[in-house]
Amino acid sequence: MVGSDRIDDLIAAVPRALALRAGLDLGIFTQLGDSALTADGLGTLFNIAPDRLSRLLYALASFGLLEVEDGRFRNGAEASAFLDASKKTYRGGDHALLRELWGADLLTAESLRQSRPAALHDFSQAGPEAAAAFSRKLAPGAAIFGRYLAQEIDLSAIGSVIDIGGGPGTILVGLRERWPRIAATLMELPTVAAAAPEILSEYGVDDVVVEEGDITVAPSIGRHDLAILKAVVQVLPPDQARRSILNAARCLTPGGEIAIAGWGVVDDDRLGPPEGVFLNLTFLNLYRHGESYTEGQYRAWMTEAGFGDISRSRLADGCTLFRARLAG
């Protein structure tokens, strides 16, 4: 007899994910830190009625993100390690971005019916305020990715790195925590580039060169040892995705390296990995042409651009990473 366990599990996962996002929105895990507080204590700190707040606290405790004893709540092991914003291992910085992505996911059927993105996001048409707001949503997660990338790649021989389409530029912040001597350049569209210096200054960084440009049109004005494209190729139509990689190759010195990363990658059979498959649905709601391209497509574009030694790996956060080196 066929059961409904799979369906039941999918439905049950949604309230937990939304409770997690609410906890991140409020800053509960960071406020708790290594302490234990009652609902009254937390309610006072957040100016929220304790009887209402306690519903969320008990919900988070029910699946282990919080622990509760004698009415006092503390972070569970995972929350302590990854949801406390005071720690470098923090994984919750994307909660503002998740609000936008999950909201878009609810519109998938509508986007399909109308044959257009129901929550269209157009980087090229975004005004200064919208560009700055979206960049701020990206900044925490980008810094975390930079830290992961710094652990994955030996950058001891790299003198200069360019982050292409890197939004706020905070990938470079995370990267240079481990490799501080590397010269850093951010290449972005004008409205996004205008917002980057202020965001970078909030991270204590004032020496990143911010260059206005469109990688689908032309390469950087400089040459660098490493080019990073994080979540760039996946938001472009195929012809522009190809050109972005061709132009990225022209940003590099002979023998330079490229690192293309994102969750928008699927296997050639298009059945996995899950994050790439389901992000492909999200793209239907956000972009006119962006999609999760296959590994074969990425490899073909990189080979055409002159890259060899192409490898695919998975970072600690689940993000797919393609690495390759330009012929010397």
**pLDDT tens, residue by residue, 270-317:** 999 999 999 999 999 998 888 999 999 999 999 999 999 999 999 877
> What single-letter DSSP state applies at residue 60?
H
Angle at 305 between CA 307 and CA 156, to 5 degrees: 40
Read off the pTM.
0.87
Does residue 49 surpass a pLDDT of 70? Answer: yes
Mean pLDDT of 249-256: 97
User: What is the end-to-end Cα distance of the chain in Å, rounded?
Assistant: 61
**Domain map (residue ranges) of the chain:** 5-82, 95-326
The CATH number of the structural domain formed by 5-82 is: 1.10.10.10
Q: What is the pLDDT of residues 172-186, one digit of tens each?
A: 999 999 999 999 999
User: Could you tell me if 311 and 322 are in contact, meaning their C-beta atoms sit under 8 angstroms apart?
Assistant: yes
The answer to whether 5-82 and 95-326 have equal CATH topology is no
> What single-letter DSSP state applies at residue 68?
E
The residue written with tokens 């405790």 in the block is 61
For residue 226, the model assigns a pLDDT of: 98
Query: Which CATH number is correct for 95-326, 3.40.50.150, 3.30.70.1230, 3.10.28.10, 3.40.640.10?
Result: 3.40.50.150
Instruction: Determine how β-strand 320-326 pairs with β-strand 252-262.
Output: antiparallel
User: Could you tell me if 324 and 267 are in contact, meaning their C-beta atoms sit under 8 angstroms apart?
Assistant: no
